[in-house]
């Protein structure tokens, strides 16, 4: 020990740069640092450019000029001088029965009897089926803004009857209208409600189960090989592709637990629902999918609670449960909430597992409970983008904007919750 110390304190073992050498050495170190810095800035730039491109793409499709033309002019549908918009339900019903093919009428009757529908619904049906405002062609936003003359010339030449109007595909009506085979009349209400129902079930199941499992693993589980294996498996499950969860949901929930998921056990069988392909199945599948993420996030939040806080509680004669309930959980809550909401954001954007579980491709009837058949926003977007008509691309873009707004709302609520429950730890 002492021998080595003597060598180090002598001057033969090596030298540190001085003068010019020091300057060069320092310059090299700064060069390396600035190279790394450039890389970091570039990484951020790539991320920003990608996000901007995504938004540009969506917005470009969601707004723009359209050439529109009515098949039947609404003015010609006025009865006794009463314009279409002011006609009663009975008048609208008669109109539909006169003008719509009986096969289509029968299908609409089977979804929901026409006589039971509201005046607004009937009016929408008349517009969709009789007036049939057709969008002949749509142009993306950048062309609409930069090349309007060329578009006008093209419309005048190809669609002399048509009007050219600027259209935002994302409108309040887009949110409140249900599905339609005519893009200009389609809306996301069914899909939005489906998404909200599904995410509510996912939250109700995944949050308590996930937090409960995290409390057990962090606070009660001993350091045994079983618990270590459990922990490893949970971490691995968080990385399993979501389609696998879809297959699990199909086998276990849709098929295996059909009496539960179809609502038969509760006497709530919906005749239009084929077997267990319900909102409940979808919500439970997504709950399984995000459960590992919720557990891991909650575990991390619980682990971050200072040990001194637990010790203080125990030293006052608190039991383990009192310590967990009064100190650990309140301190971990902001982290648990943030992590759980992030997991919900992931669930709301999931598509693949729901395709497997059996989301409906086309339903115009709103989900009314956990045993309804359903579709969700991402499924709807996927459907629309795969249709051949151009205008479905436009409404898909509008639906993407709706989905993004939903994401932002969820994440903002996570931030608000965190700030609300955050307590600062000083010293």
Partner 1 sequence: MTIPAPLSAQPALDRTRAIEARGLDVYYGAFRAIKGIDLEVTRNRVTALIGPSGCGKSTLLRALNRMNDLIPGSRVQGQVLFRGQNIYDASVDPVQVRRRIGMVFQKPNPFPKSIYENVAWGARLNGFRGDMDGHVERALRQAALWDEVKDKLAESAMALSGGQQQRLCIARAIAVKPEIILMDEPASALDPIATLRIEDLMRALAMDYTIVVVTHNMQQAARASDDTAFLLMGEDRAGILVEFGSTRQLFTNPKDKRTEDYITGRFG
Q: Which residues contact 388 (CB under 8 A, 6 or more apart)?
A: none
Least Cβ distance, residue 415 to partner 1 (angstroms): 20
- Between 309 and 410, CB nearer to partner 1: 309
Q: Which residues contact 142 (CB under 8 A, 6 or more apart)?
A: 60
Least Cβ distance, residue 228 to partner 1 (angstroms): 14
- Between 37 and 326, CB nearer to partner 1: 326
How far is Cα 226 from Cα 107, in angstroms, rounded to an integer?
A: 57
For Cα atoms 135, 137, 141, give the angle at the middle one, nearest 5 degrees.
110
Buried (b) or exposed (e) across 142-157, using 16+ Cβ within 10 A? eebeeeeeebeeebee
- Between 159 and 421, CB nearer to partner 1: 421
Q: How far apart are the first and last CA of the chain?
A: 39
- Between 217 and 402, CB nearer to partner 1: 217
Q: How many CA atoms are closer than 13 Å to the CA of 150, on its beta-carbon side?
A: 7
Closest alpha carbon to 135 in 184, 185, 181: 184
- Between 34 and 422, CB nearer to partner 1: 422
Contact 302, 328 (CB under 8 A): yes
Contact 282, 198 (CB under 8 A): yes
Q: Determine the angle formed by the axes of helices 225-237 and 279-303, rounding to 10 degrees.
A: 120
- Between 4 and 424, CB nearer to partner 1: 424
- Between 313 and 372, CB nearer to partner 1: 313
CB-count burial class (<10 Å; 0-12, 13-18, 19+) for 239 = exposed
* Tokens standing for residue 270: 């919906």
Least Cβ distance, residue 324 to partner 1 (angstroms): 13
Least Cβ distance, residue 303 to partner 1 (angstroms): 14
How far is Cα 58 from Cα 41, in angstroms, rounded to an integer?
A: 26
- Between 311 and 408, CB nearer to partner 1: 311
Q: Give residues in contact with partner 1 (CB under 8 A).
A: 223, 306, 308-319, 322, 326-327, 330-331, 423-427
Least Cβ distance, residue 275 to partner 1 (angstroms): 49
* Tokens standing for residue 408: 């932002």
The torsion angles phi and psi of 202, rounded to 5 degrees, stand at -60, -45
Least Cβ distance, residue 305 to partner 1 (angstroms): 10
How far is Cα 406 from Cα 404, in angstroms, rounded to an integer?
A: 5
Least Cβ distance, residue 321 to partner 1 (angstroms): 11
Least Cβ distance, residue 4 to partner 1 (angstroms): 23
Least Cβ distance, residue 332 to partner 1 (angstroms): 12
Buried (b) or exposed (e) across 172-201, using 16+ Cβ within 10 A? eebeebbbbeebbbbbbbbbbbbbbbbbeb
Least Cβ distance, residue 426 to partner 1 (angstroms): 4
Least Cβ distance, residue 296 to partner 1 (angstroms): 21
- Between 94 and 322, CB nearer to partner 1: 322
- Between 39 and 325, CB nearer to partner 1: 325
- Between 268 and 309, CB nearer to partner 1: 309
Closest alpha carbon to 179 in 357, 402, 399: 399
């Amino acid at each position: 020990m002492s021998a080595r110390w003597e060598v180090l304190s002598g001057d033969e073992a090596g030298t540190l740069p001085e003068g010019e050498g020091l300057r060069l050495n320092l310059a090299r170190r700064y060069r390396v640092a600035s190279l790394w810095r450039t890389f970091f800035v570039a990484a951020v730039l790539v991320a920003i450019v990608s996000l901007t491109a995504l938004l540009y793409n969506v917005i470009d499709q969601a707004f723009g000029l359209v050439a529109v033309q009515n098949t039947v002019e609404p003015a010609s549908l006025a009865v006794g001088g009463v314009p279409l918009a002011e006609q009663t339900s009975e008048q609208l019903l008669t109109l539909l029965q006169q003008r719509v093919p009986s096969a289509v009428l029968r299908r609409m009757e089977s979804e929901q009897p026409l006589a039971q529908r509201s005046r607004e619904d009937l009016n929408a049906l008349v517009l969709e089926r009789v007036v049939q405002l057709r969008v002949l062609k749509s142009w993306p936003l950048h062309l609409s803004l930069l090349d309007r003359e060329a578009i006008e010339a093209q419309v005048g030449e190809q669609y002399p009857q048509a009007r050219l109007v600027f259209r935002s595909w994302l409108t309040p009506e887009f949110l409140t209208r249900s599905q339609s085979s005519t893009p200009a009349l389609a809306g996301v209400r069914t899909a939005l409600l489906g998404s909200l129902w599904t995410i509510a079930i996912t939250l109700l199941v995944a949050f308590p189960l996930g937090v409960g499992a995290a409390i057990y693993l962090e606070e009660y589980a001993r350091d045994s090989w079983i618990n270590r294996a459990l922990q490893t498996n949970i971490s691995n499950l968080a990385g399993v592709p979501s389609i696998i969860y879809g297959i699990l949901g199909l086998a276990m929930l849709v098929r295996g637990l059909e009496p539960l998921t179809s609502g038969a056990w509760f006497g709530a069988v919906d005749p239009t629902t084929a077997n267990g392909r319900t909102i409940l199945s979808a919500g439970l599948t997504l709950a399984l999918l995000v459960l590992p993420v919720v557990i891991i996030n909650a575990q991390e939040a619980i682990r971050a609670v200072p040990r001194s806080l637990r010790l203080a509680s125990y030293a006052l004669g608190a039991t383990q449960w009192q310590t967990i309930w009064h100190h650990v959980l309140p301190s971990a809550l902001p982290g648990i909430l943030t992590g759980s909401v992030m997991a919900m954001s992931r669930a709301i954007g999931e598509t693949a597992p729901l395709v497997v579980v059996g989301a409906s491709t086309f339903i115009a009837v709103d989900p009314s409970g956990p045993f309804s058949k359903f579709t969700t926003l991402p499924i709807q977007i996927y459907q629309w983008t795969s249709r051949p008509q151009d205008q479905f691309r436009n409404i898909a873009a509008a639906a993407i904007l709706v989905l993004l707004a939903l994401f932002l709302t969820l994440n903002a609520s996570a931030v608000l919750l965190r700030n609300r429950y955050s307590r600062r730890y000083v010293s």
